[in-house]
Amino acid sequence: MSLCYAYYPGCSGLGTSLEYDTSTRALCKDLGIELVEIPDWNCCGSTPAHAVDHLLSACLVGRNLGIADDMAEERELDGIITPCPSCLKNLKTTQHRLADPEFHRKVELIVGRPLKAELPIKSVLQVLVEDLGIQALAKLVQKPLAGLKVVPYYGCIMVRPPQIMQFDDAENPMALDNLLAELGAEVLPFALKTDCCGASLGTTRKDVITKLSGRILDAAEEAGADAIVTACPLCQLNLDMRQSQINKANHSGHQMPVFYYSQLAGLAAGQGEASTMLDKLCVSPRPLLAALAGHTGEGA
């Protein structure tokens, strides 16, 4: 039975996290998971929308859910998936709120179409560990990441709020840990795996980011990690792109590559730079990868 999902890349997938989107698509292709991009999708409104108006947020998401409803009319879909935890949270929260008939009616009125919004909504990570199973991933591994010491960093909303996200353990998730272990990496225990990186406060309160993300980098180094592995575009951006700002503010000297898990999976599967896009990372992982057996550091 092959899996097929309506795919919602999210805005950052076209920009700051192009490497996440690209490597995710390549990984799914190798795994035989069919992704059908939601045609003419729009931004979910991200934090700015839901922070000021739940209805606005739900309507932005609702339009996308409506298009997915139409897709499901034409072919059988296993659900709607997205790589981005923030998009995921908006999708799932909207689905949760639409259970209230009065709210549902309002959203339909504004979106201008009936909404079913009944398809299961999941992250790509959840599909890999729950729908597909990580053993399938193990079969793909050609170049195990042996010797690579990593800490998994889930971010704060991949598993929270637990009543809505319904995925893994809210305090100590293990999905990413187990997945990375299947790729052959040495996964270290990481107490800060669900701490907040500062998220979108980076644009207005840089001091919050340098403190919170700085602490995550410090903890990763103390744990003995070579790299941090994320599943969230904003977390990755704060830890990677802002690493030099953090170093400056905190008088630290981190040179810690921050991967997307999909990049490492691609690397282990022997995919090329066109799929993994390691060059997009700000802190270059080349020196680190060059030291790994079987990896050239040149993106295979």
Partner 1 sequence: MNIGVFVCHCGSNIAGTVDTEAVAKTALTFREVVFATDTMYACSEPGQAGIVDAIKTYDLDGVVVASCTPRMHEATFRRTLERAGLNKYMFEMANIREHVSWIGKDKEANTRKAEELVHMAVEKLRRNDYLEAGEFDINKRVMVIGGGVAGIQAALDCADGGLEVILVEREPSIGGKMSKLDKTFPTVDCSSCILGPKMVDVAQHPNITMYTLSEIESVKGFVGNFDVTVRRKAAYVDWDTCTGCGECTTKCPSKKTPDRFNEFIGQTTAINIPFPQAIPKKASINAEACLKLTKDKCGACAKICPTEAIRFDQQDELVNEQVGAIIAATGYDLFDFTKYGEYGGGRYPDVITSMQYERLLSASGPTEGHIKRPSDGAEPKDIVFIQCVGSRDKSIGRPYCSGFCCMYTAKQTILTKDHMPDSQSYVFYMDIRAPGKNYDEFTRRAMEEYGARYIRGRVSAIQPKNGRYLVKGADTLLGEQVEIEADLIVLAVGAEAAKGANELAEKLRISYDPYGFFMEGHPKLKPVETNTAGIYLAGSCQGPKDIPSSVAQGDAAAAKVLALFSKDKLASDPQVSNVKLVRCIGCGKCESVCPFGAIEMIDFRGMPKASVVETVCQGCGVCTAACPQGAIQLSHFTDNQILAEVNTLCL
Is residue 265 within 8 Å of residue 229, measured between CB atoms?
Answer: no
SS3 229: strand
Count residues binding partner 1 (CB under 8 A): 10
Question: Is residue 239 a contact partner of residue 260, using CB atoms and an 8 Å limit?
Answer: no
- Measured from the CB atom, is 159 or 289 closer to partner 1? 159
Q: Which stretch binds partner 1 (CB under 8 A): 9-17, 140-148, 164-172, 203-211?
A: 164-172
Does position 161 interact with partner 1 (CB under 8 A)? The reply is no
Distance CA 292, CA 241 (A): 24
Cβ atoms < 10 Å from Cβ of 35 = 17
Which two structure tokens, joined as six digits, stand for 241?
């792109």
Q: Measured from the CB atom, is 191 or 293 closer to partner 1?
A: 191
The token duo for 69 is: 């409803």
Query: Residue 156 or residue 237: which is nearer to partner 1 going by CB?
Result: 156
Residue 220 CB, shortest distance to partner 1, in Å, is 12
Query: What are the tokens at 247?
Result: 């170093």
Beta carbon nearer to partner 1, 195 or 240: 195
Q: Report the distance separating Cα 73 and Cα 77, nearest Å.
A: 9
**Shortest Cβ distance from residue 227 to partner 1 (Å)?**
20
CA Rg, the chain, in Å?
19
Residue 193: name the closest of 165, 164, 225 by CA. Answer: 225
H or E stretch including 222?
helix 206-223
Q: Which stretch binds partner 1 (CB under 8 A): 86-94, 116-124, 186-194, 201-209?
A: 186-194
192 touches partner 1 by CB under 8 A: yes
| CA–CA separation, 139 and 298 (whole Å) | 23
18 lies in the binding site for partner 1 (CB under 8 A): no
Question: Closest approach of Cβ 208 to partner 1, in Å?
Answer: 12
Q: Does 168 bind partner 1 (CB under 8 A)?
A: no
Using CB under 8 A as the binding rule, whether residue 171 contacts partner 1 is answered as yes
Using CB under 8 A as the binding rule, the residues of this chain from 197 to 256 that contact partner 1 are 219, 222
Residue 170 or 249 with smaller CB distance to partner 1: 170
First to last CA, the chain: 31
Residue with tokens 């691609």: 266
Name the one range near partner 1 by CB under 8 A: 127-135, 167-175, 246-254, 291-299: 167-175
Region of 149-157, 187-195, 258-266, 282-290 interacting with partner 1 (CB under 8 A): 187-195
Q: Which stretch binds partner 1 (CB under 8 A): 144-152, 170-178, 278-286, 292-300?
A: 170-178
In angstroms, give the least distance from the CB of 187 to partner 1: 15
Read off the tokens for 61. Answer: 């998401």
The least distance separating partner 1 from the CB of residue 111, rounded to whole angstroms, comes to 35
Greatest C-alpha distance within the chain: 59
Give the nearest distance from C-beta 184 to partner 1 in angstroms. Answer: 24
Which residues lie below 8 Å from residue 47, measured CB to CB, with a gap of 6+? 86, 199, 200
Q: What is the binding site for partner 1 (CB under 8 A)?
A: 169-172, 189, 191-192, 195, 219, 222
